[in-house]
Amino acid sequence: MSHEEERKLLDEARQGEVLEMPNNESTDKKVKKVYLESYGCQMNFADSEIVASILAKDGYITTKNIDESDVVFLNTCAIRDNAEQKIRNRLRDFQKIKKRNPGMIVGMLGCMAERLKHNVLEEEKSVDLVVGPDAYRDLPNLIKEVEGGHKSVNVLLSREETYADINPVRLDSNGVSAFISIMRGCDNMCSFCVVPFTRGRERSRDPHSIIKEAQELVNNGYKEVTLLGQNVDSYKWTEEDSEEKVNFSQLLKIVAAIDSSLRVRFSTSHPKDMTDDVLYAMAEHHNICDYIHLPVQSGSSRLLDLMNRGYTREWYQERIDSIRRIIPGCGISTDIITGFCSESDEDHQETLEVMRYSGYDFAYMFKYSERPNTAAAKKLTDDVPEAVKQKRLEDVIKMQHDLSFESNKIDLGKTFEVLIEGTSKRSAEKLYGRSSQSKVVVFPKGDHQKGDYVHVKITDCTSGTLIGEVVHPSTPRLQSTKK
Ligand code: SF4
C-alpha cells in the first residue's frame, strides 16, 4: 500500500466520524423485546451484537428477562457434540417457558442451525426459526413469516456478506473492551472442523468500515478492541478503484494509529499463515498487545498432516521462535485436541513436548469429537478409546497448569501496565484487568476505576492469576503509538 493510501486511511481514522448507537426506543410501535443467548466462540458473541442491531432497526430492544421477550434466540455452536447437546437441553427449558408465553417465537441461529438446517424443525419442536450465520439480515422478514403462522428457515451461506455496514449493539459489555469482526468464514478445511461448512468461504471486511467501528468505540470511551476472524492472518482486502491491497499487518497498524490509548488485540492466528510482518507490527506499536493465540492442535507432524493443518511440528516451533525473538515476553496461548484418529502414545508425547517447548501461558484443551461430514469423519476412524482420550486430556491439562504457574512465577516482582476491566469476582475491594500479555491481574482498588490504565507490581500469583499492588497510575499515554 502506498504512503498516500495509508495517509488517506489514517486521516480518515483520525477524523473519526461519530455514528449514533441505534435508538432502541421506537416511538410509534409497541416496543418488541428480543432475548439473546450466545454460545461458543467470540465470533458468535460478536454476531449476536449484529443480530441485536438488525432487530433494533425493526423496533426491537434486547432484554435479559426471557419471560417478557417476544422473540428468543439461541446463537449456537457446533464445534463439538457436547456443544450441541447443551443447546438441545436448553431447548427443553424453552419448551416449558413457551407454554406460559404462547406467542413467544424461538429461533436457532449460528453454526448448529447451519449444520442441521431444516432438520432442526423436525428434531426440535420448540423451534420456529432456523437462521445461519450469513442470513441475519433476513431476520425481520423471517419473524414476520412465523408471526404469519409459518415456521421459517434461511441457511444460505454467502461469499460476500461481512455485515460491514451494521453497527453492532454492544451486549453484556463492560464498556471497556469490544469485539470487531474483520472477516468471516474459513478456507482452511482442517479435517476435524465444521467451521468451513457452517460459516462458509473466507471473505475480508472493508477496512474503512473496520476503522469507522473502532473510531466509534473510542468515541464511546472503549479502551480495547479485539479484531476477530477464524484465521486473521489470511485477511486481505483489495480497494476497488485502485487495486491497492490491505493485508493483516497493515490493518493492525492502521487500527493502532486511531488512538494511542486504544489497545488492539486479535484472534485467531494460524501457524501456516502468520508472517513476521505481523510480529514486527506488534513489536513496533506499544498499543498492539503482546499476545498471540496460536492453535497447535497436536505436536505430531504425522497427526498434523491427517488434520490437514498445513504445517509440521518443526514449522510451528520456528513460529514460536520468531515470536520469542521479535517480541520477547509475548503471551502465547493455544488450542489442543487429544485423541485424534490413530493418535499413538508417541504422538501424545510429542504434543506434551511442543507444549513444554512453547511455554504456553494458557490453552483451550479438548478431546477429539468427531463431527459429521468433516473429512476426518469421512476418511478416518475415530479409533482412540474414550478412556485414553480422557487420560491424555488430563495429561495435557496437568502440563498446562504447570506451564501457566511457571510463567506466572517468572512475573513475580515485575511491573505491568494493566487496563482495568472491572471488580474482582472474589472481592469487592479488588479490581481486575489484563496485562498486554492477556494475563489476568488482581489488585486492591484504591481510587482506580474501570477503563483506567494502572501499573501493577506483581507480589504473588496462582496458575491462573497474577496478584499485585498498584505502584502508580499510568502516565498519560504517549501521543505516538510507536514503541
Ligand atoms: S482454521 Fe481450521 S480449525 Fe480453524 S476454523 Fe478454519 S477449519 Fe476450523
DSSP 82-113: HHHHHHHHHHHHHHHHHHHSTT-EEEEEHHHH
Cα 454 to chain centroid, rounded: 25
β-partners of residue 61 are 33
Q: Can you tell me the distance from the alpha carbon of 367 to that of 169, in angstroms, rounded to the nearest whole number?
A: 35
For residues 429 and 16, which has the higher predicted lDDT (pLDDT)? 429
Residue 304 pLDDT: 98
Residue predicted with more confidence, 2 or 254: 254
Residue-by-residue DSSP string for 287-341: TB-SEEE---B-S-HHHHHHTT-S--HHHHHHHHHHHHHHSTT-EEEEEEEES-T
The C-alpha cell 468427531 sits at 370
The cell numbers describing 58, all together, are 425493526
Average of pLDDT values for 409-422?
A: 98
Ligand 1: list residues with CB < 6 Å: 186, 188-190, 193, 195-196, 230-231, 270
For 465-476, what is the mean pLDDT? Answer: 80
415-473 has the same fold as 31-154 = no
Residue closest by Cα to atom 2 of ligand 1: 190
Q: Is residue 70 over pLDDT 50?
A: yes
Query: Average model confidence (pLDDT) for the chain?
Result: 92
Q: How many CB atoms lie within 10 A of CB 261?
A: 17
pLDDT at 104 over 50: yes
Q: Ligand 1 pocket test: which of 184, 186, 293 has the largest number of ligand atoms within 8 Å of its C-beta? A: 186
User: Taking residues 112-120, what's their average pLDDT?
Assistant: 98
Alpha helices in 101-221 (DSSP H): 110-116, 119-123, 139-147, 195-199, 207-219
Q: Is the pLDDT of residue 215 over 50?
A: yes
Q: Which residues contact 434 (CB under 8 A, 6 or more apart)?
A: 418, 419, 421, 440, 441
Please give the distance, rounded to the nearest whole angstrom, from the Cα atom of residue 154 to the centre of ligand 1: 24
Which atom in ligand 1 lies closest to the alpha carbon of residue 189?
7
| Average pLDDT of the residues in 216-233 | 97
Please state the rounded mean pLDDT for residues 224-241.
93
Q: Which fold has domain 415-473?
A: OB fold (Dihydrolipoamide Acetyltransferase, E2P) (2.40.50)
pLDDT above 60 (res 256): yes
**Residue 7 has what pLDDT?**
53
- As a whole number of angstroms, the distance between CA 417 and CA 358 comes to 24
Residue 243, pLDDT score: 72
Q: Using the mean position of ligand 1's atoms as its centre, give its distance from the Cα of residue 293 in Å.
A: 13
- CATH topology for 177-410? pyruvate-formate lyase- activating enzyme (3.80.30)
For residues 342 and 306, is the Cβ–Cβ distance under 8 A?
A: yes
| Predicted pLDDT at 446 | 94
Please state, in angstroms and rounded to a whole number, the distance separating the CA atoms of residues 132 and 413: 49
Q: How many whole angstroms separate alpha carbon 280 and alpha carbon 335?
A: 24
Q: What is the pLDDT of residues 439-465, one digit of tens each?
A: 999 999 999 999 999 999 999 999 999
Mutate to test the pocket of ligand 1, among 193, 233, 270 (most ligand atoms within 8 A of CB): 193
Give the architecture (CATH level 2) of 31-154: 3-Layer(aba) Sandwich (3.40)
How many angstroms is it from 326 CA to the middle of ligand 1? 26
Amino acid at 462: T
Cα 440 to averaged position of ligand 1 atoms, centre (Å): 27
Query: Cα(161)–Cα(185) distance, rounded to whole angstroms?
Result: 10
| Per-residue model confidence (pLDDT) at position 8 | 57
Q: What is the pLDDT of residues 75-99, one digit of tens each?
A: 999 999 999 999 999 999 999 999 8
Domain ranges of the chain: 31-154, 177-410, 415-473
How far apart are the C-alpha atoms of 374 and 111, rounded to whole Å? Answer: 14
Q: How far is the CA of 189 from the centre of ligand 1 (A)?
A: 6
Write the pLDDT tens digit of every residue in 190-210: 999 999 999 999 999 999 999
